Chains A and B, each alone.
Chain A
Amino acid sequence: AQKITQTQPGMFVQEKEAVTLDCTYDTSDPSYGLFWYKQPSSGEMIFLIYQGSYDQQNATEGRYSLNFQKARKSANLVISASQLGDSAMYFCAMREGGGSEKLVFGKGMKLTVNP
């Protein structure tokens, strides 16, 4: 079964608008971590934000916030005030418990910010 699902293959947003990128996950482990990475056209993987399963508050990092809904098993990334430089692939990933450091990635989604 797919553990990380990103159903939106692509999204378009106008510059300065907010955008939400969807991610749902599947795990029976009560301890896990959720990550978002950005991959611009140059190819590198850039860490954006992290949410632990026991964290009480939604994570925020500058213009990025994570809308964590544990009961729904969703971890949507919200980008406020989109910029042209936000155009990229975005990947949601999960690390399960049990001492494993392995990240399981979704298939990614492409965000295009229009001027």
Chain B
Amino acid sequence: EAQVTQNPRYLITVTGKKLTVTCSQNMNHEYMSWYRQDPGLGLRQIYYSMNVEVTDKGDVPEGYKVSRKEKRNFPLILESPSPNQTSLYFCASSTGGRSIQYFGAGTRLSVL
């Protein structure tokens, strides 16, 4: 089954404790992206990757890192999480070429 898989689905952590949210897709998609969703704000792009080893900032990159060492994986790294990073995070992927983006199930993160 074609899918975008995020882990974990739920995470509660404390300020300053490094964490990684994994994202994997099995559709051989070139393009992958991370968004965060906050009440009343819709979804905003954090980082994106056009292909392996090619990443760039989105609209709200502060406090986040990403890497794209393999085509299928695009982890989101929070080196020192803060409470304002409490949010619902989505990974998305597409073939690029202006195609439809498919989303993972989301990761609900709480930073205390």
Judging by beta carbons under 8 Å apart, are A101 and B94 in contact? Answer: yes
Q: Interface size class for chain B?
A: 20 to 34
A101 touching B96 in the complex, CB below 8 Å, given contacts A37-B103, A91-B43? yes
Contact between A47 and B106 (Cβ–Cβ < 8 Å)? no
Does A81 lie at the interface of the complex (its beta carbon under 8 Å from any beta carbon of B)? no
Interface residues of B in 73-112 (CB under 8 A from A): 88, 90, 92, 94, 96, 98, 100-106, 108
Please report the total number of A residues contacting B with Cβ < 8 Å. 21
Q: Is the CB of B41 within 8 A of A107?
A: yes
Contact with B along A7-45 (1 / 0, CB 8 A): 000000000000000000000000001010100001111
Q: Which of B41, B43, B100 contacts A47 (CB 8 A)?
A: B100
> Smallest Cβ distance from B96 to chain A, in angstroms?
6
| CA distance in complex: A47, B48 (Å) | 19
Indicate if the CB atoms of A47 and B105 lie closer than 8 Å.
no
